[in-house]
Amino acid sequence: MTTQTDGLMQDWALTADKILTSAAAQFPDTRIVVRREGGDIGRSNYAELEQNARRIAHALHNFGISGSDRVATLMWNNYHHLLTWYGVMGMGAVLHTLNPRLHSGQLAWIINDAKDRILVIEKGFTGLIGEIADKIPSVELILIATDDVDVAPIGNIPTKTLMEFAGGVSPDTVWGGFDENRAGSLCYTSGTTGNPKGVLYSHRSNFLHALVANQTNAFGLSAMDVVMPIVPMFHANAWGLPFIAPMAGAALVMPGSRLDGGSVLELIEQEGVTFTAGVPTVLQDVLRIITERGSAPETLRRIVIGGSAVSTDMVRAFDAFDIRVIHGWGMTEMSPLGAISMVLPDEAALGNEEKLARRCRQGRTVFGVEAKIVDEAGKVLPNDNKAAGALLVRGPAVVKRYFNHQKDAVDADGFFDTGDIAKIDEHGFIQLVDRSKDVIKSGGEWISSIALEDALCSHPSIRRAAALARSDEKWGERPIVILEVEDDDPLGTSDVIEHLRPLIPKWWLPDAVGFAQLPLGATGKIDKMKLRAMLDGSEGPELIPTVPVKKETA
Amino acid sequence: MTTQTDGLMQDWALTADKILTSAAAQFPDTRIVVRREGGDIGRSNYAELEQNARRIAHALHNFGISGSDRVATLMWNNYHHLLTWYGVMGMGAVLHTLNPRLHSGQLAWIINDAKDRILVIEKGFTGLIGEIADKIPSVELILIATDDVDVAPIGNIPTKTLMEFAGGVSPDTVWGGFDENRAGSLCYTSGTTGNPKGVLYSHRSNFLHALVANQTNAFGLSAMDVVMPIVPMFHANAWGLPFIAPMAGAALVMPGSRLDGGSVLELIEQEGVTFTAGVPTVLQDVLRIITERGSAPETLRRIVIGGSAVSTDMVRAFDAFDIRVIHGWGMTEMSPLGAISMVLPDEAALGNEEKLARRCRQGRTVFGVEAKIVDEAGKVLPNDNKAAGALLVRGPAVVKRYFNHQKDAVDADGFFDTGDIAKIDEHGFIQLVDRSKDVIKSGGEWISSIALEDALCSHPSIRRAAALARSDEKWGERPIVILEVEDDDPLGTSDVIEHLRPLIPKWWLPDAVGFAQLPLGATGKIDKMKLRAMLDGSEGPELIPTVPVKKETA
Mean pLDDT computed over every residue of chain A: 91
Among A9, A402, A428, select the one facing B398 at the smallest CB separation: A9
Instruction: Name the minimum distance, in Å, from the CA of B346 to any CA of chain A.
Output: 9
Q: Is the CB of residue B212 less than 8 Å away from at least one CB of chain A?
A: yes
Catalytic annotation on A189? yes
Least confident piece of the model among A167-176, A209-218, A486-495, B144-153: A486-495
- Bridge-based pairing of strands A440-442 and A445-447 is antiparallel
Interchain contact, A67 vs B397, CB within 8 Å: no
* Per-residue pLDDT, A164: 95
Interchain contact, A222 vs B217, CB within 8 Å: yes
Residue A261 has pLDDT above 80, yes or no: yes
State pLDDT tens for residues B528-548: 878 888 888 878 888 888 865
Interchain contact, B224 vs A335, CB within 8 Å: no
Asked if A47 and A24 count as a contact pair (C-beta separation under 8 A), the reply is yes
* Residue A457: pLDDT band with limits 50, 70, 90: confident
Low-confidence ranges of chain B (pLDDT < 50): 1-2, 192, 549, 551-554
Among B222, B342, B416, select the one facing A223 at the smallest CB separation: B342
CB atoms within 10 A of CB A54: 27
Share above pLDDT 70 across residues of chain A, in percent, rounded to a whole number: 95
* Per-residue pLDDT, A396: 98
Instruction: Name the minimum distance, in Å, from the CA of A397 to any CA of chain B.
Output: 6
Catalytic annotation on A12? no
Q: Out of A189, A281, A332, A493, pick the active-site residue.
A: A189
Q: Is the CB of residue B396 less than 8 Å away from at least one CB of chain A?
A: yes
Interchain contact, B12 vs A396, CB within 8 Å: yes
User: Is 0.90 exceeded by the ipTM?
Assistant: no
Instruction: Name the minimum distance, in Å, from the CA of A119 to any CA of chain B.
Output: 17
Measured CA to CA, the distance from residue A36 to residue A28 in angstroms comes to 22
Catalytic annotation on B446? yes
Q: Is the CB of residue A149 less than 8 Å away from at least one CB of chain B?
A: no
Q: Out of A18, A197, A372, A441, pick the active-site residue.
A: A441
State pLDDT tens for residues A180-203: 999 999 999 864 456 889 999 999
Q: pTM score, two decimals?
A: 0.85
Q: Per residue in B507-517, is it b (16+ CB within 10 Å) or e — as a string?
A: bbbbbbbbbbe
State pLDDT tens for residues A435-452: 666 678 788 776 777 778
Rg, Å, chain A Cα set: 24
Residue A52 has pLDDT above 80, yes or no: yes
* Per-residue pLDDT, A548: 59
State pLDDT tens for residues B240-295: 999 999 999 999 999 999 999 999 999 999 999 999 999 888 899 999 999 999 99
Interchain contact, B223 vs A217, CB within 8 Å: yes
CA closest to B244 among chain A residues: A215
Q: Is the CB of residue B187 less than 8 Å away from at least one CB of chain A?
A: no
Binding-face residues of A in 4-43 toward B, CB within 8 A: 4-12, 14, 22, 25-26
Measured CA to CA, the distance from residue A25 to residue A20 in angstroms comes to 9
Give 3-state DSSP helix, strand, coil % of chain B, rounded to 5.
30, 25, 45
Residue A115 with chain B: CB contacts under 8 Å:
2
Residue A301 with chain B: CB contacts under 8 Å:
none
CB atoms within 10 A of CB B77: 26
Q: Is the CB of residue A299 less than 8 Å away from at least one CB of chain B?
A: no
Instruction: Name the minimum distance, in Å, from the CA of A539 to any CA of chain B.
Output: 46
Asked if A114 and A198 count as a contact pair (C-beta separation under 8 A), the reply is yes
Angle at B143 between CA B140 and CA B147, to 5 degrees: 160
Q: Out of B189, B274, B281, B332, pick the active-site residue.
A: B189
